[in-house]
Structure 1
Amino acid sequence: MSDLVLMEVHRSVAVLTLNRPDKLNALSYALVDRLMHLLDMIEDDAALRAVILTGAGRAFSAGADIKEFSESVRQGPDVAVRAFVRRGQALTARMEAFPKPIIAAVNGIAFGGGCEITEAVHLAVASETAVFAKPEIAIGIPPTFGGTQRLSRLAGRKRALEHLLTGDTFSAQRACELGVVNRVVPPDELLPAAFDLAGRILRHSPLTASRIIAAVTRGLNASIAEGLAIESEQFARMVPTHDVREALDAWIGRRKPEYRGC
């Protein structure tokens, strides 16, 4: 099971690689569970400040393991929702609200659940050769890992429905236009671009980054008034911290700040 998701540490960045290349990194139940376990480990490790998520072989992830979840479907809606839907939604919700930045490095096929993970993480860089799709309609189901909700929030209702209702593939450039990814780069520049993005974030206080992620994630589903209250709350939580005092003193003194994450 430990081989389903590989983990390497590069200084303060954890690189997670989905590792079922023979199955196009299909999201089996065991793989999802392993990924959740590693996210728990990373959250608890203060030395790790960001995550890069990518796939082994020619796919980022082709989506859910259809053979596996079809067995759950045959057992009826209660089993299918518990084993398949809740597991997938828990994963994407965990990624969306994760307190450390998660950057997807989309190296190839990102269909179904692979596309939903890309939608859920905080930032994404895609290879020019990456291909996306929302193909669930072809097997008679709607997306179940949050894809009916996040894509419409990122791209708008009509543009999202075009992809959800046709199931057609779309390019990395189209994914960028829809707001699913931030940048599209040549294949050999994918991981360097992801590390560069991580490095630009890690210049700043990890605590402040966490507060920004919390404010954005919680505010997306709130009214503007509620969102502003969330923003104010996150600011108030930062005021008594060392990192705020250090950032202000460093700015005034024109020196590089030394953050503690507290």
Structure 2
Amino acid sequence: MNTTHHPEGQIDCTVQGAVLQICINRPAKRNGFTPKMYRELGEAYTRLDDDPALRVGVLCAAGDHFTAGLDLPTIAPLMKRGEKAVPLGLVDPLNLGMEGYRRRTKPMVVAVQGITYTLGIELMLAADIVVAADDCRFSQLEVQRGIMATGGATLRMAERAGMGNALLHLLTADVFDSAEALRLHFVQKVVPAAGLLAEAMRIAEMIAAQAPLAVVATRQNVLKGVEQGPLVAMHDFIAVQKTLSNSEDAAEGVRSFVEKRPARFTGQ
């Protein structure tokens, strides 16, 4: 990957087929997030959702580390004023459903390596599938800085790992490894660092090969079940299945099965 000498860092986007690769690029500062980077990340997530040619996102990082988290000297003034770095109206990379922000609809795969602190954990928990390098070091250390994690860690760590496991790491600000992250269901796969991006892209391309409308509907139903409960999500089954069954992609799915060939989905 290319690196940059821009002092405030940047977010680089590369299109590979139907996959948008989004790269955090400030390796000289361990990819610490400035307001500029945070804004550009929101713009990249919005691009993924708005471009019909794109089906899946892959969030990755340049250099040896995913991110050391927020660059507090540049972010703190915004926090003190109660302001957000991502402009209203864009897709929120943390997918919290906050008023004024859009929620991502398309799948996001995240590849994390090296130092993955605070915001790094929250970005990966806000995504859908996480591939971690075997050299990762994770820490949700806000309490060590006198603040609270407000990017979703207090919610999602408990949801994935249970209250006790979440508080173990949230209240001690300790550093834990990829094996612990896998045990707690914070990540889905652990791979050698050299093969990290390739594995994330492999998963993303497999998702991109499926029927786009069905992928989005499936993801949204899982998310609704987690956030609102199984009974609420279940009520969508008949209506969503009816809509999907009448799509061109569903017809193509049947044709490809009968003709014993790979399906060619269009998202229609």
Moved over 6 A (4+): 84-87
Distance (Å, rounded) in 2 between the aligned partners of 1:105 and 1:23: 19
Which residue identity lines up with residue 203 of structure 2 in the other structure? L
1-structure distance, mates of 2:237, 2:228: 11
The residue identity in structure 2 corresponding to 1:83 is K
In the alignment, structure 1 residue 83 sits paired with structure 2 residue 89: no
SS at match of 1:194: helix
Q: 1:133 to 1:234 in 2, by over 3 A?
A: farther
Distance 1:40 1:85, change over 3 A: closer
> Is 2:172 the partner of 1:171?
no
The one-letter amino acid of 1:169's match is: V
Aligned to 1:216: 222
2:106 aligns with 100
1:193 to 189, 199, 202: 199
**Equivalences, count:** 256
Name the aligned partner's letter for residue 104 of structure 1.
Answer: V
Out of 248-257 and 172-181, give the one that drifted further.
248-257
TM-score normalized by structure 1? 0.89
- AA in 2 matched with 1:90: D
Structure 1 gap ranges (5+): none
* Residue 260 (str. 1) matches residue 266 (str. 2): yes
- Equivalent residue number for residue 56 of structure 1: 62
- 1:125 matched to 2:126? The reply is no
Query: How far apart are residue 86 of structure 1 and its match?
Result: 9.5
Q: Decide whether the 8 Å contact of 1:103 with 1:194 is kept in 2.
A: yes
1:109 corresponds to which of 112, 115, 121: 115
Amino acid at match of 2:216: S
Q: What residue identity is the alignment partner of 1:249?
A: R
| In 2, Cα distance between equivalents of 1:136 and 1:85 | 20
1:168 partner amino acid: D
- Aligned pair partner of 2:23 in 17, 20, 34: 17
Q: 1:159 to 1:231 in 2, by over 3 A?
A: farther
Q: Distance in 2 between matches of 1:133 and 1:236?
A: 44
Q: Distance in 2 between matches of 1:237 and 1:176?
A: 36
Whether contact under 8 Å (1:128, 1:187) holds in the other structure is: yes
The Cα shift of 1:159 comes to 0.7
SS of the counterpart of 1:174? helix
- Give the SS at the match of 1:210: helix
What is the CA distance between 1:120 and its match in structure 2?
0.7
Query: Which of 175, 187, 205 is the matching residue for 1:181?
Result: 187
What secondary structure sits across from 2:95 in the alignment?
Answer: helix
TM-score by length of 2: 0.88
Task: Give the letter aligned to residue 91 of structure 1.
Answer: P
Which amino acid in 2 is paired with 1:154?
Answer: R
Q: CA deviation at 1:71?
A: 2.7
How far apart are residue 49 of structure 1 and its match? Answer: 1.6
Q: Is residue 2:238 matched to residue 1:236?
A: no
Shift of 1:215: 0.9
Could you tell me whether the CA contact under 8 Å between 2:139 and 2:176 is conserved in 1? Answer: yes
Q: Distance in 2 between matches of 1:72 and 1:99?
A: 27
Q: Which amino acid aligns with 1:209?
A: V
Q: Is the 8 A contact 2:9 2:37 kept in 1?
A: no
Superimposed CA distance per residue, residues 201-250 of structure 1 (whole angstroms, 9 cap, x where no aligned partner): 12211111111111112221112211211344432331211111211232
- In structure 2, runs of 5+ residues without a counterpart are 1-5
Distance in 1 of aligned mates of 2:133 and 2:12: 20
* SS of aligned partner of 1:211: helix
| Corresponding position of 2:211 | 205
The structure in which a higher percent of residues are helix is 1
Give the 3 Å change call, closer, same or farther, for CA 90–44 of structure 1 in structure 2. Answer: closer
